[in-house]
Amino acid sequence: MTATIAATNNQVEANGHGNVAVALWLWIVAGLVFAMIVVGGATRLTDSGLSITEWQPLLGAIPPLSEADWLIAFDKYRQIPEYQIVNKGMSLEAFKFIYWWEWSHRFLGRIIGVAFALPLLWFWMRGQLRRGLPIKLVGVLALGALQGVIGWYMVKSGLADRVDVSQYRLALHLTTAFLIFGLLVWLARDQGARLVPVTGEAATPSVRTAAAAIVGLVLLQVVLGAFVAGLKAGLIYNTWPDMNGAFVPSDYWSTTPAILSVFESHAAVQFNHRMTAYLLGFVTLFYVWFVVRRPYYDRIRHSAIVLAVAVVAQMIIGIWTLLAQVPLSLGLLHQGGGALVLAAAVWHLHATHRAGVISRN
């Protein structure tokens, strides 16, 4: 049935032609990806990422089941530089601890793949996906499969000539995870179908552009945070607001050629992460101040406030984590907080594009 929804005096908002079941499924998958991001952070902080030295997409789902299996896995780990240089003499029990973190990370990735692919097929076959949505979801599925390859590409970098993984590959891996998470949040928000009384104005093009720029800044901060994690740069300069008494650390340019310091100097990557956090905080707070003072739709203004709270909270957690020298609990809180900031930014961006848009069912 076709009906025209009148929008006289901006009294009605209609958000899409969605399906509640599809939306719930996408939120569940987004929750699983959030858990994957946090478990990935634990894998990094516990130095567990190189404990499994093979990539077996199917058989790798089965962990060691006997003492003999454990000894075989441990022997493979003892062949790589991380064991020989960093963990020489590690006990089997200590190896099991890091093994289970890495196995859990990979197994959760497999769970996410199944939890996404099978319902996708089911909804598609039943005709419950609106026009244009299947190709978007297949794209996300392909990106998830690529993420598995990227994960192994990252691990492989630490199996031969290094005692840890490449910070470049870690940044690629983490950023892809955040990108998948952000896409799922957007698509889940896009599936709601509701009519609600509203008052206000739709976002202007400049507001939508600014909201998109904030999402971009959040993703840039994720990339920079990945370099901090990859180099363990959070374990130095554990002072704030200065860096051991200086604004710019004296060893910022500490590599040859100097330009590589931006990516390979511990001092530089921490400084860059700090400065971008300040920039993100300033831009977000100024933007939200601008938005809430104008008569935009409630969903735009409310989501902007949530975004501001998320950014400020994340900055506080980041400072706390740095001063405490990155304990596991705070490190995970900070990584999970980054994902929530992205979710808030994407949610708000969605509101600037969809609030007040009239749909016809």
* DSSP string of 257-306, one letter each residue: SGGGHHHH-HHHHHHHHHHHHHHHHHHHHHHHHHHHTS-B-HHHHHHHHH
- Per residue in 103-119, is it b (16+ CB within 10 Å) or e — as a string? bbbbbbbeebbebbeeb
Rounded CA-CA distance 156/144 in Å is 19
Interacting residues of 54 by C-beta distance below 8 A, sequence separation 6+: 60, 76
Give the pLDDT of residue 6: 34
In the prediction, which pLDDT does 360 show? Answer: 35
Q: Please give the radius of gyration of the chain, using alpha carbons only, rounded to the nearest integer.
A: 23
Cβ(344)–Cβ(352) below 8 Å? no
pLDDT, position 200: 79
pLDDT at residue number 144: 97
SS3 content of the chain, % helix, strand, coil (to 5): 70, 5, 30
């499924």: which residue's tokens? Answer: 25
DSSP 10: G
CA distance 44 to 326: 12
What is the torsion angle, in degrees rounded to the nearest 10, for the CA atoms of residue 337, residue 284, residue 226 and residue 259? -160
User: Is the bond preceding residue 241 a cis peptide, omega within 30 degrees?
Assistant: yes
CA–CA distance from 282 to each of 285, 286, 290, 307, 325 (Å)? 5, 6, 12, 12, 25
Contacts of 236 (CB under 8 A, 6+ apart): 266, 267, 270
Q: What is the pLDDT of residue 13?
A: 45
User: Both tokens of residue 247?
Assistant: 């604004």
DSSP run (H or E) holding 199:
none
Q: What does residue 339 show for φ and ψ, rounded to 5 degrees?
A: -65, -40
Residue 357 confidence (pLDDT) = 54
- CA nearest neighbour of 248 among 231, 221, 267: 267
The candidate with the shortest Cα–Cα distance to 283, out of 315, 240, 246, 330, is 315
Q: Are 34 and 336 in contact (CB under 8 A)?
A: yes
> What pLDDT is recorded for position 359?
40
pLDDT at residue 58, rounded to an integer: 84
What the block records as the tokens of 214 is 């904030």
Q: Long-range contacts made by residues 296-299, C-beta under 8 angstroms, separation at least 24?
A: 296/200, 296/201, 296/202, 296/203, 296/207, 296/355, 297/13, 297/198, 297/199, 297/200, 297/201, 297/202, 297/203, 297/351, 297/355, 297/356, 298/198, 298/199, 298/200, 299/13, 299/198, 299/351, 299/355
Q: Which two tokens stand for residue 335?
A: 């990584």
Give the closest residue to 294 by CA, choosing from 204, 197, 195, 196: 204
Q: Which residues pair with 243 in a beta bridge?
A: 246
β-strand 12-14 against 195-197: which pairing, if any?
A: antiparallel
Q: What is the 8-class DSSP label of residue 34?
A: H
> How confident is the prediction along the chain (361 residues), in pLDDT tens digits per residue?
333 333 333 443 444 456 899 999 999 999 999 999 999 999 999 999 999 999 998 888 999 999 999 999 999 999 999 999 999 999 999 999 999 999 999 999 999 999 999 999 999 999 999 889 999 999 999 999 999 999 999 999 999 889 999 999 999 999 999 999 999 999 999 887 555 556 778 899 999 999 999 999 999 999 999 999 999 999 999 999 999 999 999 999 998 899 999 999 999 999 999 999 999 999 999 999 999 999 999 999 999 999 999 999 999 999 999 999 999 999 999 999 999 999 999 999 999 998 765 443 3
The pLDDT, as a whole number, for residue 197 is 54
Structure tokens at 80: 């790589």
